[in-house]
C-alpha cells in the first residue's frame, strides 16, 4: 500500500471518504469472498472484470475509450486501497475455480493500442497489478480503422505484443480484424476465432485461452465458435441472456470513474450479475 503516493484525485468530501473507507469493514468487494470459499453470499456474483481500451491523450475521444494515465493511476490506487488487486482474467478464473480470488478483479484492455505499453504497463507495474490485453493479429501495427469517428490510434506491432507478454500481461484474442461476429458468415467466424488464436499462439509462443468479442456483441453461435476454437473463456460487455465462461460481462471503466462511481459500479454489479456455472 502506498497511500502517500501523490495521485490527482478530485478533491471532494465524498470522494475523500470513499477513498479512506477501510476495506476490512466494508462489504463492497466485487467477486467472491475469500474467507469461506464456496459458502459466502459473494459466491453468487460473477467475477468483476473491468474494461479499458486506450490510455493516453483524450482530447479527441468520441467513443469515450480513453483514460488518461493519471486517471488509471487513481483507479488502481482505489482498487489497492480496498484490498483488491487487478489480474489477468485467466488468473482470476483460475483462482475462483480453487474457491479463492475474492480479492481479485480482472483488468482488460481491448484492441491492443500502442499506448498500452507506454502508459498502462508502467502504471500496472507500480501498483502490482496484471491485466489481459485483447489484440487483433490481423491488424498488427495498424490502427483502429473500424471506428468511423475519432482519431486514428496506432495498434501494437508483433514486437509490442511480445513485450507486453514478457512483462506478464496475458495476451488474448479480439478476433482478427474487429468484426461483429454475430453478423459474420461461417468462414469469417472461423477465421476470426480459430484463425486469430493460431496466429497469436505463433506470435507469443504460448497457448491463447482468452477471447473478447468485438463490440461486445455475442450470440450462441459466436460463443460456440469461440469454444470450438479452443479458448477457455470469452469476455463480452453485457451478454444479455447468455451466461457462463464464454459470455463474461464486463464493466466499462472510463475517465469519469472516480472513486465514488467505481464504488457504485461494484455494488451495481453485485446486484445485477448472478453467478453461472463455471465462472
Ligand atoms: Zn474492440
Instruction: Please report, for the chain, the start and end positions of each structural domain, with discontinuous segments joined by +.
Output: 41-272
Cα 245 to chain centroid, rounded: 14
CATH topology of domain 41-272: TIM Barrel (3.20.20)
* Contact between 196 and 173 (Cβ < 8 Å): yes
Looking at residue 150, what is its pLDDT?
81
**Tens digit of each residue's pLDDT (9 = 90 or more) over 202-242:** 999 999 999 999 999 999 999 999 999 999 999 999 888 89
The pLDDT > 90 percentage for the chain reads 68
Ligand 1: centre distance to CA 89 (Å): 17
Going from the Cα of 14 to the center of ligand 1, the distance in angstroms, rounded, reads: 33
Q: Which residues lie at CB < 5 A from ion ligand 1?
A: 110-111
CB 116 within 8 A of CB 74: no
pLDDT tens digit string along 238-261?
888 898 999 999 999 988 888 778
The C-alpha cell that represents 87 in the structure block: 489480474
Lowest average pLDDT, out of 37-41, 82-86, 110-114, 245-249, goes to 37-41
| DSSP 8-state symbol, 154 | B
Span from the CA of 238 to the centroid of ligand 1 (angstroms): 14
- 115: CA distance to ligand 1 center in Å? 15
Reported pTM: 0.82
Distance between CA atoms of residues 204 and 222, nearest Å: 24
Three-class SS state of 208: coil
Amino acid at each position: 500500500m502506498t497511500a502517500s503516493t501523490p495521485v490527482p484525485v478530485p478533491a471532494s468530501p465524498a470522494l475523500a471518504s470513499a477513498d479512506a473507507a477501510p476495506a476490512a469493514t466494508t462489504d463492497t468487494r466485487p467477486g467472491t469472498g475469500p474467507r469461506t470459499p464456496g459458502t459466502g453470499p459473494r459466491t453468487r456474483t460473477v467475477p468483476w472484470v473491468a474494461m479499458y481500451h486506450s490510455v493516453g491523450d483524450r482530447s479527441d475521444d468520441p467513443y469515450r475509450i480513453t483514460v488518461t494515465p493519471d486517471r488509471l493511476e487513481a483507479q488502481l490506487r482505489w482498487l489497492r486501497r480496498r484490498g483488491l488487486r487487478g489480474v489477468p482474467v485467466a488468473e482470476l478464473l483460475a483462482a475462483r475455480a480453487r474457491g479463492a480470488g475474492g480479492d481479485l478483479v480482472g483488468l482488460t484492455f481491448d484492441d491492443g493500442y500502442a499506448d498500452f505499453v507506454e502508459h498502462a504497463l508502467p502504471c500496472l507495474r507500480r501498483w502490482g497489478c496484471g491485466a489481459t490485453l485483447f489484440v487483433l493479429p490481423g491488424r498488427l501495427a495498424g490502427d483502429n480503422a473500424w471506428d468511423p469517428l475519432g482519431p486514428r490510434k496506432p495498434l501494437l506491432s508483433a514486437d509490442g505484443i511480445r513485450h507486453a507478454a514478457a512483462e506478464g500481461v496475458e495476451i488474448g484474442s479480439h478476433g482478427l480484424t474487429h468484426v461483429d461476429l454475430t453478423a459474420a458468415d461461417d468462414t469469417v467466424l472461423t477465421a476470426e476465432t480459430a484463425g486469430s488464436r493460431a496466429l497469436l499462439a505463433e506470435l507469443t509462443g504460448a497457448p491463447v485461452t482468452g477471447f473478447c468479442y468485438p463490440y461486445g456483441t455475442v450470440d450462441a453461435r459466436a460463443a460456440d465458435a469461440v469454444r470450438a476454437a479452443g479458448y477457455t473463456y470469452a469476455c463480452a460487455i453485457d451478454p444479455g441472456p447468455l451466461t457462463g465462461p464464454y459470455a463474461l460481462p464486463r464493466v466499462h471503466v472510463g475517465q469519469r470513474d472516480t472513486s465514488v462511481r467505481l464504488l457504485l459500479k461494484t455494488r451495481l454489479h453485485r446486484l445485477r450479475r448472478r453467478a453461472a456455472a463455471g465462472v
